[in-house]
Each structure stands twice: as structure tokens, then as C-alpha cells.
Amino acid sequence: MKERLILIGNGMAGVRTLEELLKIAPDTYEITVFGAEPYGNYNRIMLSPMLTGEATLDEIMLNTPEWYAENNITLHTGKTVVRIDRKNRLVITDDGMEASYDRLLVATGSNPFILPVPGHELEGVIGFRDVKDVETMVETSKQYRHAVVIGGGLLGLEAANGLQKHGMKVRVVHIRDTLMEQQLDTEAGTLLQQELEERGVEFIMGASTKEILGRKRVQGVTFEDGREVTADLVVMAVGIRPNIALAESAGIYCGRGIVVNDTMQTYDPRVYAVGECVQHRNQCYGLVAPLFEMAKVCANHLAQLGYGRYEGSVTSTKLKVTGVDLFSAGDFVGDDECEQIVYRDPSKGIYKKVVLKDNRIQGAVLYGSTMDGPWYFQLMREEADVSAFRDTLMFGQGHLGDSGHGAGNTVMNMSDDTEVCGCNGVTKGDIVHAITTEGLFTLDEVKAHTKASASCGGCSGLVEQILAATVGSDLSHPKVKPMCGCTDHSHDQVRAAIVDSELTSMEAVYQKLEWRNPNGCPTCRPALNYYLISSWPTKAVDDPQSRFINERAHGNIQKDRTYTVVPRMWGGVTTPDELRAIADAADKYEVPMVKVTGGQRIDLVGLKKNQLPAIWSDLNDAGMVSGHAYGKALRTVKTCIGSQFCRFGTQDSVAMGIDLEKLSWGSWTPHKFKMAVSGCPRNCAEATIKDFGVVAVDSGYELHIGGNGGIKVRVTDLLARVETDGEVLEYAAAFMQLYREEARYLERTAPWIERVGLNYVKERLVDDVENRKALSARFLISQEISQKDPWAEHTKPEHRLEFVPMKTFNEDEEKVVANG
């Protein structure tokens, strides 16, 4: 008869112990798991992406209910164990259920520390520890405006980022003068603060919370120095405390955590403990990597193998905090006997510091560029003497040539035992072996086979580089997501073929790439049409019938199958004649609603499809062209009144907005494209949530890219600072052309920049002046064609607004196709 093993706590450390146990002794125990939350085992590290909307609960699940069933594990969710009866070897839950054990594994994790200040019990004061906290934050953001996050560590900054993306005004309160002081030195912390301030987060540094104000619900926060701020939500992110109450009540010896030996046994040899609730050799750990190391040793002893020992962990931290790459390891401050080597590149937002003692690395901090973090960490753990390559140490492993420790110019020159994924203890050798023996071609496949980058995701970029370097020339037929069912080729492969083989028509693409459907389908035809006309603007012919119905009909289809018409107003500026033309058209065609849009234009809402050619003919006669409010093109250029009228304005934002719109209207882009020009840093035109935003300052302009103001709000990244109007126009044209040439169809600038990296865009546009000018010139060439407004031909009365006679394109699909 099998022994009975009970796990208390359905979190990452406890369930990882079961996973390790099932690998080496799958039939040893009858296993029962008790979890207080009503879910399976999820990745707690991914709560931040869940808060921002980048991941769902299903996507962060590590083990579904089916996994427990497949492994004959009895799972009780929503049950909290309230008592351990060690004498009778029983656990008792909050609803009175009892279960007996032969071996007990306690993995109760930790609790968020809630400052015991007056008002901490008010509604709206929460931690940031579980799914319920995330759901509370999301729901609160729908009703309230002001959020205060107490704590400037990793969790606090991630909470602030997520709440800001949900539209809340966020203030971060930190008792120290530097953010993330446990992971960063003062300079890196200051750089991080400056970066986040540019994105709109407000910081109150060196502040000690005195009281949380409110009657039933939180209304504000006061500080010891007398300052006071408004708050509808307070998120406590000031640290965690091991959850030891259950163990203490059972008489299990505890210090700060549940005290365990090197085999993860407590003072009761039948009771083991792992995770954040544990104290081992006077240390408590909150990072994933040590917890998984504990899990492996604990599983070894539960399997009665008896040769594993946990002797503590040397930790490194590789993080991405709100889009900024960070790495730290060891003692990055040092003492009087240590030396510091520092590398700074402010224009690229890069800072590196390595602390040496007797030419051996004691610690390191990397900001903005973390590729060499694992190499520094390996050198530190090996206590390697770096004197032979000390002069080039800060330039990374790739600058060693053939003369140094781990020399080489690619990730493949890292030694096989270099740890790439600290969370799961995966080395470069493990990844390469899996790629070569299993025939892996994608990051997701590497995750599934090795667990590298499957936890916090901080090493994803490095794993992808190892993947690319390992596959190399063997990547002739990679496993990629095809564009559609007509082909096995991806968007990137199709576009590359169009450019490399000079394909200028759909028929040529179908033939060259052996398309299965000779006429394409609703998914591939619009994409192919865009790739053709953007790659070969002077040769390829735009096919109107391969555009979405919104673009072809020149109106935005609504849920009642009527359409809206939006004429263009340059920079939001109009004239009495234009207003009269709009009013006349509204009267003539009995438009049900005339609405001012968020993009500073007028929307004629509720027109029937057969009215569109006629109303556009009238508006064209009045000199008004399409605003392309429904196109994969420039939509709007929003402006404030700027220095011409506003007392705060530093530049003429209206004139600049009109110049930008006249430069770029009618352009073909992978997805909709929005711009804005604010006349001063008060940013009334909301330029920092646009695809290309211009903020006027005393010395000229700040240029911002990659913003998004929709469901998933993304604040822009700063591209450059320029002095003249001409430079703004040149950068705008070059940025749009780079986006046009390299982004995938239906990919907004925000995900495109996140995919290729801000540094890549800066290298192409800021660092390489000749390339910027070439991109701008190519954009102007294409605009000579597109600004003849070929779409306007489709607004004439004789134009037939109908789909091509294909089975896959029909009236029933208009609603689906319209939204891309």
C-alpha cells in the first residue's frame, strides 16, 4: 500500500516538488493537495502581465485540473488547512474536512506585508500577491481615478505600471531615496525613476506613511512630513513575510520562516517544507530559482534516494521592469577593498557596473542591456580571474576574440554550463541539447521541453538567440505560424520573398510560393496587397477589392450595418466653408447623428451603404478628402492650440500638426497610425499615447514613438530630441517608412517596437543618419503615388461597392472582415 503524501499549498514551489517527485518516483505516494485559492497551480510571477492585460488567467496556469487527474493527484481547491494534528498525522480544513498523512509537505508561501498604520483595514487597501488582488485592481480602475502604490520595489513598480495602463493616475511612495535598492545601485535606480517619470508615473521618495484616510473606503494617504495625497486605491508592496502561522500552531519550530535542514525536513522528520515559508541556514528566499532548487532536493528525499542536499543559493536577478531590462547579482556595492568598473551610454539608456576584488567579480548591475548578465554571473560563481581581459570586460563576452574566458562573438561561445534560466536552473547546454535532439524551432517549443523562460520570462531574449544560433542554416523550413491556410509561409517569409524576388502582383506571389488557393482568402489577400504596394510602390497596383470593406466603402461599418463618414480636417483645424459643406451634406442625406470625434474631426454617423458614393462626391467637390478613419493608414494628427494662442505654448503645434498630416495622409501602413503634437510638456494633445508623438519644449521638440491609447494602453518611448521643424518631418517620415517596411500586417507600432526593441529603432533612425534620410526619401516617393488618393476613386457615384466574386468573400462576412 502506498504511503500518503499531503501538500499544503498549491503554489509554484510545492507543485514543482511534486513534478520532480513524479519524474523519479511516480508510484511512491498517494498524493493529496490542498489549495486555498479556487484555481489550479498558476505562475505567480506572471500576475503583472495579467494586470496589464498581456496575459489571461488561463495563459498563466502551470498545471490544469487535468494534470492533477492524469497523475492521480487529489486536488482540493478553495480549502484552507487550519490545523495540523502531528500526533494523529491529520490535517483539518476550514470546512471541517480531515485527511491523514504519512509524509507532509508544507508550502504555504508568504503573505504581503500590510503596514499597520491607521486606516490599513479600509476598503480599497490591498496587497499585490494573488489573482484576487489583480481582479480588485482591474475592477477599481473602472470606477476610480487615483491610485497610490506604497513600495518602490519590483512588485510596486509593476503594480504602478499595470494601474497606469488601466487609466489611473499613479503615485509611487517609497521610503528610500532610490528605487529597487535591493537589486539596483543608486545610479541604476535613478535611471529607472527618470524613465518611469517620463512615462507619467509620479514618485514620492523618502516618504514614510503615517495614515490612510477615509471612512469606509480609502480617500487619501498622509505622510510623516505632513504631505497628503488623494487615493481611491492603495496597493501595499512593501515586502512579504513567510506564512508560518499554521506551522507555528502545530508546534513546528520556526524563526522568521519554518526552519529546515539541508534535506528540507523540519524538526519533525515526517514534515518537509519548501518555498517562501522556509528559513534555511538563517536565510529566507523570495526568488523563484532558490525555491525550485529546494523542490528538487525535497523530491529526492521524499523518493527516499537520500543523496541530494540544499546548501543555499547564489542568486542573480534578471528582470524586465515596465519594459526596461535589468540585471543584478552578488555584492554590487562593494567595500573599501573593492574596485568598480562602470560603463555608461546615456543616449542609448545603458549603464553597467561590475564590482571586482582581486580581479574577481563580486557583483554586477546592468541597466538597459543585460545580454552579458549570465556571463558575469558565471564568472562570479566560478571566482574566475578576469585580469587577462579586464580592459574589455565591460564590452561583454563578444569583444574577447579568441583570447579570453568564454571568448567568442556569439552566444554559442558561452560554456555549456552557463546558467541561462535561473528560475528553472536551465543551462545553455540543456537548451542546445533539446534543440538539436528534439528538432525545436520556436521559443514556445524550447519552453515546453526545457522550461527555460517559462517562469519569469526574463531570459527569453537570450534563449531566442541561442535558438537562432543553434539552428543556423538548418532553419530552412522553420516551424512558424503560417499567414493563413493557403500557405505554410509566415508573414515575414512572404514579405521577404516579395522583396527578394521582386514580386509585384498577387498572381506572382501565388505562383512563386505555391499558394494552395489560387484566389487567396480574406486573411491573406489584404496582407498581400499591403506587402506588394509598400514594397514596390511604383510597380505594384493597389487592388481595392483586397481591402477591408471599411476601406473600400470609404465608411466605417457599424453594428446596424450603416456607415460613418469622416472627412479630413488638417491638424484638427477647419474653416466655415468646410463646416457648411458638412452641414449641407448632413441635411441632404438626413444623417442621423453628427458627432465630434476624439481625433478633432466631425463624424457623419448612420449613412446607408448606397449613400456613400454620393456624399463623398459632394464632400470632394467642396475640397474635402477622406480622413481614412477606417483605413490601415494615417488616421489623425491631434493638436493643441500651441504657442500661437496658448500662454504655455513653446512651439506652433497647430502648424506642425498640419505639416505632419499633409506629409503623411493617404499613406499605406500595416495598421492604423495616429499622431499628435503638443505645444508644451503639459501634453494636452496626448502625444505620449500615439504611434508618433511630438512634444514641444523650449529647445525644440521631443519625438515619441510606439504609444497606444486603446484597450491596452502603452505610453510612448522617447526616440530623440530635435531642434527644427524639418527634423521632425524627416524623423516622422523615416519612422513611418521603417514601420511600413518591417512590421507585419495588422501589427500596431506598440507591439512591433516591443518585438524588435527600442534600441533597434534608435540604431536605424538616430544613430544611422544616412539610413534615416534614405528611409525618409523612400517614404516621400511612395507618398507621391498614394496622395493621388487612389481610394478616392472608389467614392465616385459610378463605383461599384461590392466584393469580388469569390466564395470566400461575401456580404455575410462584412462584419468580420471590417475589423481586420
What is the block-wise mean pLDDT of the chain (820 residues), using blocks of 10 residues? 94 94 94 93 88 85 89 94 96 96 97 95 95 94 94 91 90 94 90 88 94 95 94 95 96 96 95 97 88 93 90 74 80 90 87 94 90 84 88 78 45 71 78 81 78 72 76 48 85 92 93 89 89 90 82 78 88 91 93 87 89 90 86 91 88 94 90 94 91 94 90 84 95 96 92 88 94 94 73 37 30 36
3-state secondary structure of 8: strand
Pair 185, 353: CB distance under 8 Å? yes
Distance CA 479, CA 466 (A): 16
User: What stretches of 387-481 show up as alpha helix (H) in DSSP?
Assistant: 428-438, 443-450, 460-471
410-476 has which fold? Arc Repressor Mutant, subunit A (1.10.10)
Give the pLDDT of residue 49: 86
Give the pLDDT of residue 238: 93
- 364 phi and psi angles, rounded to 5 deg: -155, 150
- DSSP class of 320: E
pLDDT in tens, 761-778: 999 999 999 999 999 999
Give the pLDDT of residue 510: 93
Pair 371, 396: CB distance under 8 Å? yes
pLDDT in tens, 372-408: 888 888 888 889 899 988 988 888 876 655 444 444 4
Residue in the structure block whose three cell numbers are 456613400: 612
Pair 414, 375: CB distance under 8 Å? yes
Would the pTM of this model clear 0.75, i.e. be above it? no
The CATH number corresponding to 125-238 among 3.50.50.60, 3.40.718.10, 3.30.1330.30, 3.30.470.10 equals 3.50.50.60
User: How far from 683 is each of 651, 688, 719, CA to CA, in Å?
Assistant: 12, 8, 17
C-alpha cell at 682: 503639459
C-alpha cell at 307: 543523496
Pair 586, 580: CB distance under 8 Å? no
**524 labeled part of a ligand binding site:** no
C-alpha cell at 165: 495602463
Distance CA 791, CA 798 (A): 14
Q: What is the length of the chain?
A: 820
Pair 387, 360: CB distance under 8 Å? no
Pair 653, 696: CB distance under 8 Å? yes
Distance CA 215, CA 199 (A): 33
* Largest interatomic CA distance in the chain: 92
C-alpha cell at 236: 501595499
**Left, alpha or beta for 77 (phi > 0: left; psi -120 to 50: alpha)?**
beta
Distance CA 301, CA 28 (A): 12
Give the pLDDT of residue 430: 87
Residue burial 261-298, b: 16+ Cβ < 10 Å; e: rest: eebbbbebeebbbbbbbbbbeeebbbbbbbbbbbbbbb
Which is nearest to 455 in space by CA: 7, 38, 42? Answer: 42
Half-sphere exposure in the Cβ direction for 397 (13 Å, CA): 22
Helix 725-742, helix 524-535: angle, nearest 10: 130
3-state secondary structure of 164: helix
Domain ranges of the chain: 3-110+242-302, 125-238, 410-476, 491-541, 639-788
Q: How many CB atoms lie within 10 A of CB 129?
A: 18
Which is nearest to 76 in space by CA: 35, 104, 19, 37? Answer: 35
Which is nearest to 672 in space by CA: 548, 510, 576, 521? Answer: 548
* Bridge partners (DSSP) listed for residue 112: 240
The gap from C-alpha 353 to its chain's centroid, in whole angstroms, comes to 26
C-alpha cell at 233: 486605491
3-state secondary structure of 477: coil
Pairing of strands 218-223, 209-214: antiparallel
C-alpha cell at 106: 508544507
The gap from C-alpha 120 to its chain's centroid, in whole angstroms, comes to 31
Distance CA 199, CA 688 (A): 8
Domains 3-110+242-302 and 125-238 share a fold: yes
**486 labeled part of a ligand binding site:** no
Pair 795, 626: CB distance under 8 Å? yes
C-alpha cell at 744: 507585419
Give the pLDDT of residue 545: 80
* CATH H superfamily, domain 639-788: Sulfite Reductase Hemoprotein, domain 1 (3.30.413.10)
**Does 3-110+242-302 carry CATH code 3.90.180.10?**
no
**338 labeled part of a ligand binding site:** no
* Bridge partners (DSSP) listed for residue 602: 596
Which is nearest to 687 in space by CA: 724, 730, 657, 726? Answer: 657
Contacts of residue 316, Cβ cutoff 8 Å, sequence gap at least 6: 327, 328, 329, 330, 373, 374, 377, 422
Give the pLDDT of residue 808: 30
User: How far from 337 is each of 182, 204, 380, 448, CA to CA, in Å?
Assistant: 21, 35, 17, 45
DSSP string, 21-38: HHHH-TTSEEEEEEESSS
Distance CA 712, CA 52 (A): 7
Distance CA 105, CA 123 (A): 35
Residue 152's Cβ-count burial label (10 Å; 0-12, 13-18, 19+) is: buried
Give the pLDDT of residue 204: 95
Distance CA 236, CA 219 (A): 15
**254 labeled part of a ligand binding site:** no
Dihedral of the alpha carbons of 47, 258, 317, 46, in degrees to the nearest 10: -10
Distance CA 62, CA 41 (A): 6
Give the pLDDT of residue 480: 60
The gap from C-alpha 620 to its chain's centroid, in whole angstroms, comes to 43
Contacts of residue 770, Cβ cutoff 8 Å, sequence gap at least 6: none
* Start-to-end C-alpha separation, the chain: 59
Contacts of residue 63, Cβ cutoff 8 Å, sequence gap at least 6: 15, 40, 41
Give the pLDDT of residue 413: 64
DSSP string, 751-814: HHHHHH-HHHHHIIIII-HHHHHHHHHHHHHHHHHHTT-GGGGGGSTT------SBTTB-GGGH
Residue 80's Cβ-count burial label (10 Å; 0-12, 13-18, 19+) is: middle
